[in-house]
Structure 1
Amino acid sequence: MYAAGLPRCSVVIADVYKLLSEVPDPEIPILSIADLGIVRDVVIDGEKVTVTLTPTYSACPATEVIEASVYEHLRANGITDVHVHRALSPPWTTDWISAEGRRKLAEYGIAPPAGSTAKKSLRGDDLRIACPRCHSTNSVKVSEFGSTPCKAAYKCGDCLEPFEYFKCI
């Protein structure tokens, strides 16, 4: 991986990103924090690694758990000088969820965000959300909020199964 005789940095940015892709989101553990798009930056200065995270919303109760998980996972993998910076601007958007993250949400039974926030309808009621089980768009919103504020509860009119939709934010 490294050419003989060249100095080797003990911490490599790509390795840090790989480790961050192993840190699960505590509310939706099938997603990593990288899948969710909350990892905004990694900066290495000598042995110091600074990870910038943007929470899904400023009052997210999982933010401190995520930050602690980043410290713990990086330290467990030999990176001891870890600093986490919380950035609230620009605010997180569902547009930052990776394609892999969207695929994982659907496989888990949560409908991923429909479209992008740039194209978001002012009235969420006119969105036709596809059921993650049968893919029918014959769905109806049951509640504006699901198990977390970022999800809404829906029911499929074809397979009759309830499901959650990860709202565009």
Structure 2
Amino acid sequence: MVTPTALEAELFEVAGSVPDPELPVLTLQELGVLRSVRLGHEDAVEVELTPTYTGCPAIEAMSLDIERALHEHGVREVTVRTVLTPAWSTDDISDEGRRKLREFGIAPPRTVRDAGPVPLELGPTRTVGAAGRPCAPSAGPGTGPGAGQTAPDPVRCPLCGSADTELLSRFSSTACKALRRCLACREPFDHFKEL
């Protein structure tokens, strides 16, 4: 990995301060989609941007906003390239970004993996029952998909903090989020899905 120059680091901060078009509470740097800013020939930079998923419709708006910010900062020529490797994951969201999501009323993604693919389970929609137990009965220890895996933390309501929530829809205002409802305060909220 090449260490960025002072000017590249400055331009990375400028590009990284651009708000996400779908979640304007977060900057592109906090979301973790801005990968690098490199100086090319004099007065030209190349920016690498990774979308949250391959078909993300916001990538064009992100690119235009980055170009505009860097032009306003005095850079004459800006090229924004979309890079898909390494793929973006919700692990790329900064701690500050997670805090801002929670304050904005969106449950941030849980940290559920060390490395590798995220297991997909289409199971119960409630994360915790009223008595603090999982809602769906288990087939017993060591049986069924995911046997031996530790259950992920429950999705907590960003409004009251309760872990007693249920899934209403696997998709919400964007494909990156699910719609959930808190069974304690009864309020609906978005949950930024783990990838």
Q: TM-score under structure 2 normalisation?
A: 0.77
Q: Does 1:95 align with 2:91?
A: yes
What amino acid maps onto 1:13 in structure 2?
Answer: E
What amino acid maps onto 2:30 in structure 1?
Answer: D
Query: CA offsets per residue over residues 101-149 of structure 1, 9 Å max, x none?
Result: 1111000000000114447453264552000011110000011011001
Unaligned 5+ segments in structure 2 are 128-151
Aligned to 1:141: 167
**How much is the aligned-residue C-alpha RMSD, in angstroms?**
1.8
Which of 1 and 2 has greater Rg? 2
Query: CA offsets per residue over residues 79-122 of structure 1, 9 Å max, x none?
Result: 11211111012211111111111111000000000114447453
Query: How far apart, in 2, do the equivalents of 1:43 and 1:22 lie?
Result: 16
Aligned to 2:139: none
Structure whose residues are more often helix by fraction = 1
2:178 to 152, 158, 168: 152
2:158 to 132, 136, 140: 132
Q: Contact 1:94–1:116 at 8 Å: present in 2 too?
A: no
Q: Contact 1:36–1:96 at 8 Å: present in 2 too?
A: yes
Q: Does 1:14 align with 2:12?
A: no
Q: Does 1:44 align with 2:39?
A: yes
Moved more, 53-62 or 119-128: 119-128
What amino acid maps onto 1:167 in structure 2?
Answer: K
